[in-house]
Amino acid sequence: MYYRAPEKAVCADVIPFYENGEFKLFYLRDYRDISVHGEGCPWCLLTSSDLVHFHDHGPVLLRGGKEEQDLYVFTGCCIRAGEEYMIFYTGHNPHLREKGLPEQKILRATSRDLLHWEKDRDFVFAAPDWLEMHDFRDPFVFYDEERKEYCMLIAGRLKNGDPSSARGVTLLACSPDLTHWEVGKEPFYAPHAYFTHECPDLFRIGDWWYLVFSEFTDRIVTTYRMSRSPFGPWVSPKINSFDGHAFYAAKSASDGKRRILFGWNCIKQDERDDAPWQWGGTIIPHEIVQQPDGTLAVKCPQEVAAQYPDRLPVLAGRTMGSVSYQDGKYLLGGEGKSLCMLGAMPENGKIELSFTASDDCGDFGLLLRADAGVDAYYAVRFEPRFNRLAMDIQPRADNTRHTQVDVERWCPVVPGEKNKLLILFEGSVLEVYVNDKVAMSARMFDRREGDFGIFTHNTSVCFEEIGLYRQEEER
């Protein structure tokens, strides 16, 4: 259901485009095997009408040679321009930097059918001399009706200024014809906070405009800003991210009724739990939901959640601490730790439940893929006193560290209020959704089987409406 490129390859940045009832998802394919596939990165095309079944058409915008600007075909955008389609993309070649030439320039290609692309060798858009020449990438093009001109957002960096790690800016270039572009001297957005603002995206919902970009300086997340105008001023909401650091480089597309945000759930080196995170992974769709105050939340698209119709029995097994069951409700907790194991998990599936916390003193949640002794497991843990949802792994790789939370999200839990939890798991991919507002992507590499259960620690929680599901064909 969740898509990853074939063999050793991974999907990196997604460039979504919607037309004729179908999402056209261009994505950067990192082969992860230079000895077989050579150096460089093309754009591949993935199509889907339901966000569940995908057809990979393979590379459509091909990488250039080692001496060419676009050895790596990096992020950009796809637009409809009259009778043809146009891609603006980043031509990236680290070997050019060694020769004193720009590592990145913006290039262009055209197509009649989205499958066969012709590169425009005459179109080359380089950074002006007041910007850093090696960081000029990720073009996003839109047409401004009021100005009657095309606009291009670009991820760039100022040439001067300290600290150097905060020179990142979102730039605005304008054009009357999609060919001749001029970069404005004043940055479109310059918060003096990040190395760069990757993969810019801009869209409108109702009376609000949203600027989306990804940063790897502070939290390594896809973040957003709000404004009543497409040109700012931009304001950061209290919670300005869609997911944690295991969901990155996200861009969006609308089908006319809703807006889907596509990012990648990154893998780790050698696909081990205790290894560093890496670039690229598996494509994940979140559905953007505008809140009454204009801020944005995300939920699981309905057709994705519906892919697990085969309900499995949930049977209480091993318990520890204070555990009681009545009328379909499990009440766990008090002082110390309590747990109740509820059965074996399928390899791919879904868990649904509701929970109500009695206070905000301790922590609680779900154990996933636990061994028989409940010594090794993954934990989806709520910490109401910190407004935190976290992914934890036991046993920990290094007990000398005071905290080893793998991923975390801001997630308030109000005592006495009922909450809805949805967990999807497929191979190593883990997607957690709370109240159709909060999403947390994570990974479970080392353990591929085991039991699930519920737990509390220094608090009391009522768990109910617990359901475990798998795909019909999985037996």
Summarize pLDDT for 186-230 with one digit per residue, the tens. Answer: 999 999 999 999 999 999 999 999 999 999 999 999 999 999 999
d(C-alpha 455, C-alpha 249), whole Å: 34
Q: Where in the chain is the domain with CATH 2.60.120.560?
A: 310-470
d(C-alpha 17, C-alpha 111), whole Å: 14
The CATH number of the domain covering residues in 10-305: 2.115.10.20
Strand bridging mode 348-357 / 418-426 = antiparallel
Confidence band (pLDDT; 50, 70, 90) for 475? very low
d(C-alpha 277, C-alpha 269), whole Å: 6
Please check the confidence at residue 1 and state whether its pLDDT lies above 90.
Answer: no
- Three-state DSSP state, 97: helix
What pLDDT score was predicted for residue 473? 63
Summarize pLDDT for 15-40 with one digit per residue, the tens. Answer: 999 999 999 999 999 999 999 999 99
Confidence band (pLDDT; 50, 70, 90) for 401? confident
CA dihedral 353, 359, 361, 366 (to 10 degrees): -10
d(C-alpha 143, C-alpha 279), whole Å: 31
Q: Does domain 310-470 have CATH number 2.60.120.560?
A: yes
The arithmetic mean of pLDDT across residues 259-280, rounded, is 97
Which pair of tokens denotes residue 101? Answer: 């030439």
Q: Where in the chain is the domain with CATH 2.115.10.20?
A: 10-305
What pLDDT score was predicted for residue 399? 77
What pLDDT score was predicted for residue 402? 67
pTM value? 0.97
Other residues' Cβ atoms within 10 Å of the Cβ of residue 26: 26
Strand bridging mode 296-299 / 22-30 = unpaired
d(C-alpha 83, C-alpha 229), whole Å: 30
Q: Specify the DSSP element, H or E, that contains 30.
A: strand 22-30
Summarize pLDDT for 49-107 with one digit per residue, the tens. Answer: 999 999 999 999 999 999 999 999 999 999 999 999 999 999 999 999 999 999 999 99
Summarize pLDDT for 249-264 with one digit per residue, the tens. Answer: 999 999 999 999 999 9
What pLDDT score was predicted for residue 403? 67
Residues 6+ apart with CB under 8 A from 469: 308, 309, 310, 311, 312, 349, 350, 351, 352
The half-sphere exposure of 116 on its side-chain side, counting CA atoms within 13 A, is: 2
- Three-state DSSP state, 463: strand
Q: What's the mean pLDDT when you consider all of the chain? A: 96
Residue with tokens 């205790």: 274
Summarize pLDDT for 291-318 with one digit per residue, the tens. Answer: 999 999 999 999 999 999 999 999 999 9
DSSP string of 265-321, one letter each residue: EEEEGGG-TTSPEEEEEEEEEEEEEE-TTS-EEEE--HHHHTT--EEE------EES
Beta bridge partners of 324: 331
The arithmetic mean of pLDDT across residues 166-172, rounded, is 98
d(C-alpha 198, C-alpha 222), whole Å: 9
Q: What is the percentage of the chain residues whose pLDDT exceeds 70? A: 99
Radius of gyration of the chain (CA): 23
